[in-house]
């Protein structure tokens, strides 16, 4: 059964082919800092593609959707632009 995508997903472009989960949370402004990313990931508050992820070093690739606290961000290609409001 396919995972349904959460509403209001923002696209966040990355420069390389992959990015670590902790780095992506900061890039997408889902956390203030890398130090803040560690406990929320360890506590099981972060989902990747609809499943709880507790590995900060998890490699994300284009198309992966990360959700934290009701906010979701999709890893996108740098060429795609972004949906960030700033």
Q: What is the pLDDT of residues 6-37, one digit of tens each?
A: 568 999 999 999 999 999 999 999 999 889 99
Query: 35 CB contacts (<8 Å, ≥6 apart)?
Result: none
**Sorting pLDDT into bands at 50, 70 and 90, what band is 84?**
low
pLDDT at residue 7, rounded to an integer: 63
What is the pTM (predicted TM-score) of this model?
0.83
CB neighbours of residue 64 within 10 Å: 19
pLDDT at residue 2, rounded to an integer: 44
pLDDT digits (tens, 9 = 90+) for 72-81: 999 999 765 5
pLDDT at residue 57, rounded to an integer: 94
């Amino acid at each position: 059964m396919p995972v349904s995508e959460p509403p209001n997903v923002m696209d966040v472009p990355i420069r390389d082919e992959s990015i670590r989960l902790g780095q992506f949370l900061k890039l997408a402004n889902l956390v203030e800092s890398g130090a803040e990313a560690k406990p929320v990931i360890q506590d099981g508050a972060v989902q990747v593609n609809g499943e709880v992820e507790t590995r900060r070093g998890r490699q994300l690739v284009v198309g992966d959707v990360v959700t934290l606290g009701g906010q979701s961000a999709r890893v996108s290609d740098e060429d795609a632009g972004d949906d960030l409001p700033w």
